[in-house]
Amino acid sequence: MRKKFKPKGKGSAGSRRGLWLTSGLAQAMVLLNGIILTATAFYILHIFIKGMTTEEYRAAAQDAGRVFVEGISDQENSIRLVSSVLLISTNKNESLLAEQIRRNVPGLSHFDQVIWIYEASPGKWSYKTLYESQHISNKQASYQLVPSQTLVTKIVQDKFFENDSLRVMSDLPGMNYVETKSSPPTMERPFSFVKVVKKNSSRDGVIFGISRPEKLIDQSWLDQQNAVSNLTIKDIAAERNIYNLENDRAGSQIVAYNQDYNLSVGDSEWKIVMQFSKKTNM
């Protein structure tokens, strides 16, 4: 017997609705999966970019720290060398001795002034200028130590010659904390390395190496670091600010990275704090 062909009827409304739900759910899952992958990729990229930025800040801070350390070390070594030359020299002519130091001792250009003050005879003090810079571009930052009776009195009263270790001072006459630049706002205080040539011997004298924080900062580096919002140097022992640069005085920028160093400077310790603002293109 031949089987009669029966055409298939259309599915019921329930089956059609099930197919639609199955298809719609699959599309929704694909869309949700795409959103999750996109969000994950964006998050990973954000972390990666943030990490790169942090590394850039850290590298810049470490570079600045290296420049500070090298600058301080160069100045300290120069003063120690001058002291050693004065101590071992057999030349008793102070003028000729000063000229020899001026010509042969390296690193004097790291200072604005290098002065040797000594007691030529009991109660009679004299001095020789071993070096003096003729090219101070920033007149607001210029400072000159005057070998006056006031300075001699300080040397005697503070008993300089009882200690022949290398010292750093920022409270000599006229060493004021003043604004040296208006853009960006910069405050600065001169300082001096001080070294007695021979302990308990005022006849051999004391050396003053006058400098400024600006001499320790590579200006070309600072000009390139437009993300530096604040740079501060403070003498911890003296509780005295030595330098402060504010690129964000209004406090409108977001601090993205902060780095601080403690450096041994002479017989003191300086704290250097650098703040970097968030880059606008990050």
For residue 276, the SS3 value is strand
Tokens of 71: 């600058």
* The predicted structure's pLDDT at residue 7: 46
* The predicted structure's pLDDT at residue 45: 40
CA atoms within 13 A on the CB side of 23: 6
* The predicted structure's pLDDT at residue 3: 47
Residue 204: CB partners within 8 Å, gap ≥ 6?
86, 87, 118, 196, 197, 198
Q: Which residues pair with 246 in a beta bridge?
A: 230
* The predicted structure's pLDDT at residue 59: 83
Most distant CA atoms of the chain, gap in Å: 147
Any idea which residue has 């302990």 for tokens? 199
- pLDDT tens track, the chain, 282 positions: 444 444 444 555 555 555 544 555 555 555 555 555 555 544 444 443 344 477 877 888 888 888 888 999 999 999 999 999 999 987 778 999 999 999 989 899 899 999 999 999 999 999 999 999 876 555 555 788 999 999 999 999 999 999 999 999 999 999 999 998 888 889 999 999 999 999 999 999 999 999 998 888 766 666 666 677 888 999 998 899 999 988 765 556 677 788 888 999 999 999 999 888 775 443
* The predicted structure's pLDDT at residue 151: 94
Tokens of 9: 């009827």
Predicted TM-score of the model (pTM) = 0.76
